[in-house]
Amino acid sequence: MEALKLELKNKIITTLNLEDIAVEDIADTDALFGDGLGLDSIDALELIVILDKDYGIKLVDPKEGKTIFQSIESMAAYISANRTK
Amino acid sequence: MTQKTNIQSYITIQNNEIVLNGTSVFKIEPTDFADFSKQAYRNFDVQYPKFFKMDALSKLAFLGAELLLSPITSGEQENNIALVLANKSSSLDTDVKYQESISDQENYFPSPAVFVYTLPNICLGEISIRHQLKSENSFFIFDAFNTEFMSNYSNILLNSNKADVVLCGWVEFFNDDYKAFLCTISKEESTKYTNETINTLYNQ
Amino acid sequence: MCSFALQKLEMKEVFITETNCITPLGFDVKSNTEAILRGDSGIQLHEDLSLMPMPFYASVINTEKLNRAFEKISTDKKYSRLEKMMILALEPIIKNSGIELNSKTAFILSTTKGNVTALKEDSEESFNNAHLDVLAKNVSDFFGFQTQPIVVSNACVSGILAVSVAKRLIQSELYDNAFVIAGDEVSEFVLSGFNAFQAMSDLPCKPYSKNRTGVSLGEATAAVLVSAAATNAKVKVIGDSSINDANHISGPSRTGEGLYRSIQNALKEAQIEVDKIDYISAHGTATPFNDEMEAIALNRLGLQNVPINSLKGFYGHTLGASGLLETVISIESANQNLLFESKGFDEIGVSETINVIDKNEERNIDYFLKTASGFGGCNTAVVFEKVKHELH
């Protein structure tokens, strides 16, 4: 689980071009959207692509993303329970 | 009722160098545009993390606009600065990248963050957001910088009171070849560029 | 202000005198309005793996029908599908108008993605064709325009912005006439992009409706002649504005600020009050945010009771073509004094009241407003006045 969390942090930083943010700056429970990391709606769509491309998870309802993408912790939990690759 | 308009400031970005009003303000050893734009961003201490999410065309237009507009805009006061930009390659640099993400059926993962930049006018949106310009916006495509059209169209906006200032210019980017030439034009008298036109400044 | 009024008097009048369109509903304006009156829609379910890995709804022109129509005016094989659609839309209006294509005749082409399908082929020649200036030159050379083509590529406002650009150029006396063409194709490129944006509807789109789930894409071309001459004028272009939201590159402003200001400026230039507007041909893409934003902007302006439609239920979202195509249809609406239903609309699904047209209805239309909004935060509003011709 810890390895997955680290992997997700790295992925988010590279894929979403968070230039001035390092892995250490993101706590497992930090909010990814809003006041936390400050991700926006396009980033949310990009996270849906990451789920599909890297973990083989297709979100049927994009609205589900809201709870899944709350934090690194919630993302990691969802991915380990649902991943197909 | 047409009034004479004047160039107030201009900027050129090409060959790893930024020249503002005829003076070189940033120049580095030859490198790729991603590196050049990042170094320029750091050099001018821009402080706008969204910059790194932009595609190359938007970064290019953004940097030019940053140096021309920051001195004349403020968060408190509304302004009416229109944006009229043009280029040859539209958003093709990003279009090609996006096309690659959908060309392989086995590896078909279209990226929304790339797709959104497959329109040339997105750079106008980026500049508008940065400087809070709720103003006239238009993006044109020509095979080469059509200085006559761009200057005429800017004058129309100024003389019909649709804008107080026009940020007008050429922002071309394809495959790491780039050139930006931007200038601000208004009816305000200017003693600086009395004989110059967009054409002479662009070709300097 | 006095100076404003004075300047207004000196402004040249600008008219639209010819219109045409090429759509799945027909290859001329008459067949399109007849189809709309019958309630036909171009939106169909498509299963085409070369366009999308899954079935999708879109409004697509039949290629064989297009080729047959094109063969009647040219046997040249070099033109792309989109170029054929553009040439077919322009050909009759250039011919009818009898206008000389000289240094005072502008050619304005508006599109978002042009020949983007050319990127699928990995050759230099094909790549060259993906350039919008090359597309414009190909179409321009077919007719022999003498002036350099002006390409407007400003996302989904392109088509209506092109009318505005034409009006401004004519008012400044740079040109006497401008032929304006707008067009976009349904391609794998845009389908995949809208799908990645989770913006595609799984049913034909339902603008302003409670159960709307997004856009259906479409393809079309539309052409108009914008002229300083009033002969055969259908409408006068009396005010226009294109203001950016300065809010977000892919989502509209929640307050509809850019659209609000665009409409406000256009009405001010037209020197008419909001209560003069008889009809609004709106953007209505059927995404949750767009339709909501429009309803908010219209309420802020006091335009909530004016009959409004989105023609996307007939044509899908034809991107850069939509603004001009919908203008062409609105001009017919005004000239026939008929409000066309907003197809796909059932139960109101925006938080503030708007008067969506639910069935075709006779109504006197003197002034109407066309609006559009798009990626990059852009918005355009143009006010038109019907030109009444004396009966002889």
Q: Do C212 and C275 sit in the same domain of this protein?
A: no
Instruction: Examine residue B194 and state whether it is found in any structural domain, yes or no.
Output: yes
List the structure tokens of C164.
């505005």
Q: Do C245 and C220 sit in the same domain of this protein?
A: no
Nearest to C371 by CA among C246, C300, C279: C279
- How are beta strands C235-241 and C378-386 bridged, if at all? antiparallel
Lookup result for tokens 């230099």: C124
> Smallest CA–CA separation between A27 and chain B, in Å?
19
pLDDT of residue C122: 85
Reported as half-sphere exposure (CB side, CA atoms, 13 A), residue B91 has a value of: 30
Contacts of C198 in chain A (CB under 8 A): 45, 48, 62
Residue in chain B closest to C134 (alpha carbons) equals B143
- Number of domains forming the structure of chain B: 1
Q: Which domain holds residue C84?
A: 13-227
The last residue of one of the domains, among C197, C227, C257, is C227
- The DSSP symbol for A67 reads H
Q: Which residues contact C374 (CB under 8 A, 6 or more apart)?
A: B121, C154, C155, C156, C157, C158
Q: Which domain holds residue B181?
A: 6-202
Which chain C residues have any C-beta within 8 angstroms of a chain A C-beta? 196-198, 248-251
* Cβ distance of B52 and A19 shorter than 8 Å: yes
Residue in chain A closest to C251 (alpha carbons) equals A41
Q: Do C284 and C196 sit in the same domain of this protein?
A: no
Nearest CB to B116: which of C153, C249, C257?
C249
C-alpha distances in angstroms, B144 versus B86, B94, B188, C146, C149? Answer: 9, 20, 29, 17, 12
Instruction: Examine residue C369 and state whether it is found in any structural domain, yes or no.
Output: yes
Q: Do C315 and C194 sit in the same domain of this protein?
A: no
Write down the ipTM of this complex. Answer: 0.97
Instruction: Examine residue C8 and state whether it is found in any structural domain, yes or no.
Output: no
The number of C-beta contacts closer than 8 angstroms across A and C is: 12
* B134/C248 Cα distance (integer angstroms): 12
Please tell me which residue, C314 or A60, carries the higher pLDDT value. Answer: C314
Instruction: Examine residue B153 and state whether it is found in any structural domain, yes or no.
Output: yes
List the structure tokens of B194.
């009395």
* Cβ distance of B1 and C6 shorter than 8 Å: yes
> Smallest CA–CA separation between C225 and chain B, in Å?
20
Contacts of B84 in chain C (CB under 8 A): none
Contacts of C103 in chain B (CB under 8 A): none
Is it the case that residue B105 has pLDDT exceeding 90?
A: no
* B110/C27 Cα distance (integer angstroms): 33
Please tell me which residue, C351 or B190, carries the higher pLDDT value. Answer: C351
* C181/C320 Cα distance (integer angstroms): 10
Reported as half-sphere exposure (CB side, CA atoms, 13 A), residue C382 has a value of: 30
* C361/B157 Cα distance (integer angstroms): 39
pLDDT of residue B77: 84
pLDDT of residue C390: 65
The number of C-beta contacts closer than 8 angstroms across A and B is: 29
Q: Do C207 and C270 sit in the same domain of this protein?
A: no
Instruction: Examine residue B16 and state whether it is found in any structural domain, yes or no.
Output: yes
Q: Do C284 and C197 sit in the same domain of this protein?
A: no
Nearest to C25 by CA among C17, C16, C34, C15: C34
Domains and CATH numbers, chain A: 2-82 (1.10.1200.10)
Neighbours, chain B (3 or more CB pairs < 8 A)? A, C
Contacts of C192 in chain B (CB under 8 A): 102, 108, 110, 115
Q: Do C113 and C207 sit in the same domain of this protein?
A: yes
The last residue of one of the domains, among C206, C227, C248, is C227
> Smallest CA–CA separation between C82 and chain A, in Å?
30
Strand partners, B170: B86, B181
List the structure tokens of B31.
């490198």
User: What b-and-e string marks burial along B115-148, b requiring 16 or more CB atoms within 10 Å of the CB?
Assistant: bbbbbbbbbbbbbbbbbbbbbbbbbbbbeebbbe
- Number of domains forming the structure of chain C: 2
Instruction: Examine residue C102 and state whether it is found in any structural domain, yes or no.
Output: yes
Q: Do C175 and C302 sit in the same domain of this protein?
A: no
* C143/C79 Cα distance (integer angstroms): 13
Instruction: Examine residue C388 and state whether it is found in any structural domain, yes or no.
Output: no
Q: Does A20 touch chain B (CB under 8 A)?
A: yes
Instruction: Examine residue B163 and state whether it is found in any structural domain, yes or no.
Output: yes
Predicted confidence band of residue B2 (pLDDT cuts 50, 70, 90): confident
DSSP H helical ranges for chain C = 2-10, 29-38, 63-71, 81-97, 124-129, 132-143, 158-171, 188-196, 257-270, 288-301, 312-315, 322-335
Predicted confidence band of residue B1 (pLDDT cuts 50, 70, 90): low
Q: Do C197 and C220 sit in the same domain of this protein?
A: yes
- CATH code, domain with C112: 3.40.47.10
- The DSSP symbol for C215 reads B
Neighbours, chain C (3 or more CB pairs < 8 A)? A, B
Nearest to C370 by CA among C295, C283, C292: C283
Task: Kindly give the parts of chain C with pLDDT less than 50.
Answer: 1-9
Q: Does A56 touch chain B (CB under 8 A)?
A: no
* pTM score, whole prediction: 0.96
Residues across chain A: 85
The last residue of one of the domains, among C205, C227, C249, is C227
Instruction: Examine residue B1 and state whether it is found in any structural domain, yes or no.
Output: no
Q: Do C180 and C33 sit in the same domain of this protein?
A: yes
Instruction: Examine residue C274 and state whether it is found in any structural domain, yes or no.
Output: yes
Is it the case that residue B81 has pLDDT exceeding 90?
A: yes
pLDDT of residue A63: 83
Q: Which residues contact C132 (CB under 8 A, 6 or more apart)?
A: B90, B141, C109, C111, C114, C151, C153
Contacts of B113 in chain A (CB under 8 A): 16, 42-43, 45-46
- CATH code, domain with B113: 3.40.47.10
* Cβ distance of C248 and A40 shorter than 8 Å: yes
Query: What Rg, from alpha-carbon coordinates, does chain A have?
Result: 12
Nearest to B119 by CA among A42, A39, C249: C249
pLDDT of residue C6: 45
* Cβ distance of B112 and A46 shorter than 8 Å: yes
Residue in chain C closest to A44 (alpha carbons) equals C197
Q: Do C278 and C222 sit in the same domain of this protein?
A: no
pLDDT of residue C5: 44
Q: Do C186 and C335 sit in the same domain of this protein?
A: no
Nearest CB to C154: which of B111, B121, B135?
B121
C-alpha distances in angstroms, C356 versus A20, C38, C129, C331? Answer: 48, 18, 41, 18
B189, containing H or E segment:
none
